[in-house]
Each structure stands twice: as structure tokens, then as C-alpha cells.
Structure 1
Amino acid sequence: MKDNEKEAIQCFFNAVEKLKECKIIRSETYLGNIAEFIVKDTNGVDLALSLRQEGYDGIYKTNKKVQVKSHFGKYGTNILFKYDKNEVNFDDLIVILGPHSNLKLIQNHEFETYIFEDFKKWVSCGDSGINYNKKNKTVSLAKKVLKKNREITESRKD
């Protein structure tokens, strides 16, 4: 291993330790923890105390349950996750896109947040663009779904 590679790895683990000290990272799923922290900090969500909480990641002050998903990479064209619409334990889905995510609608060095209120309705809506695979019990969100969410959110502000 080259010296610059060793140094880069050490910098990464030092950053992880600092993020743990700040209580941003709570487990070994670093990127998911960062997304959950952003949701907690910007949306007023109380994160579940148990890292093994079934079906949701946190709760709004209004007692609505929230699931958090994220995409941080330059690769991949969707966000795919397990979803059994008969056993849904959350109300809203919040998607966090990192600064380098290729799913972002505006390519800058900021995070983007998408809130899908009453997510079950989004999945049930035929023209939402969300792909629900009944056999595998998965949901797939692509860029066009995020665009539709942004359009709906913007129209509500008018």
C-alpha cells in the first residue's frame, strides 16, 4: 500500500471517529446514519433509540412515523428498498440525496431532501412513477419520481 493510500484510509477513520463523537454516526452504516442525522436536524424528527427499530427510523412531533432512504453515489439510477404495502409501519418517506448523487435534480454540492407524505398513497397512485414489485416486495424510486415530488411540492407553495 502506498503512503498516500494509507494516509487517506487513516483520514477516513479519523473522520468516522469525529462523526461518532458528534453523535452523527450511531452504527456501522455510515451513510444511512448521516442521512438520518440530516433528517433529524432539518425536519425535527426524533430518531428511534433502537438502531434495530422495525419499519421506521423516527417520529415527527406530530407522531407520524418516518422512514429515511438515501443515495450518495455517482452511480445507480434508483433507490431500491424492501416494502410490503400490507405491513407498512411508516407514514412518510424522506429521501436524502448527497452532494454527488446522480439522482439530484440540481447538480451542486448541497444535499437535496424529498418528503413523500403518506407514502402508501404514492405507491398506490398509478402515475406516481414509483415501481412496486409485488413478487419481491420492493419499491424503486428513480429520478422521475423525485422530479414529480418536487413539482407537487412547488405547486403546494403557490
Structure 2
Amino acid sequence: MRKLRGVSLIEVLVVMAVGTVIATMSIRILSQSQRNARQTQEHLNLQRGLTQWESQLRNDLRAATEVKLTDPQTIVLDQALTNVTYAVKPNQVERIEAGADKVISHEGYALPNCQVTIKLPAEDQVLIRVEPQRHRQSSRAFTIRQSVGRP
């Protein structure tokens, strides 16, 4: 009697089950790595927006002669020849520089998923707190404290 060569149905099913488990684990790992990459990119965008905004805000505050908080989300800086307004909008802060009844510049700084609080603890000092929503453990509040008209 000749011995048949081949595989049984059970062997095929076992190989298919192992392949399915490996494919499922690979998809999960790929999905997690994409999620981590997306969160890292969001964090980098937030840092970039904060850095640009902080630099411009500090320069404007140093040049300001007076600061007014018109509402909890808007601050107006009176400078020698211009007024600069910072308005907190969803996911961004807008900077509008105006002088002599015309807009000189209009910029936006991306701050995705952040809560921005503006306070004037003293008439010559501004305190701004930016709190990212806690989707990651490494997210922490960022504070900008600057005197008006002084370096």
C-alpha cells in the first residue's frame, strides 16, 4: 500500500488559525503605532504654535504702554503707534495689529485642544495659562508671565 502525501484538513485549519492570530496582532501593532505618530505630531504642532505665540506675545508686551482685558478671552495691547489684539478662538489664538484705522497684520497661532486663560494680576503684568486637554500623560500646563513695557 502506498502512503499518501499531503496535509490533512486539521493541519490546514491550524495553520490558518495561527496566521489569523499573527495578522490580527500585526494590525493592532500598526494601528497603535499610527495613533502614537498622530499624537506625537499633534504635540509637536502644539509646541510649535506655543513657541511662536510666546515669542511674539513677549515682544508685543515689551513694546506695550498699556494692557486691557476686554473680555476673558481677549487682550488689547496699546503700543506707541499701534494696538495689538490677541483673541482666543477655538484651537487658535488670533493676533491683529492695527494702526490709524487700518489692519496692519493678522496672524493665527495654532493651539489645538487647549484651554487658554488670560489674567492681569497687576496693571503692569500679564499671566497666560495654556492647558492642553489631557489625552496624554506628558501634557502639562504652560504659563507665560511677562511685565508690560519691560524686558
Common topology (TM > 0.5): no
TM-score range with shorter-chain normalisation? under 0.3
TM-score (norm 1): 0.24
TM-score (norm 2): 0.25
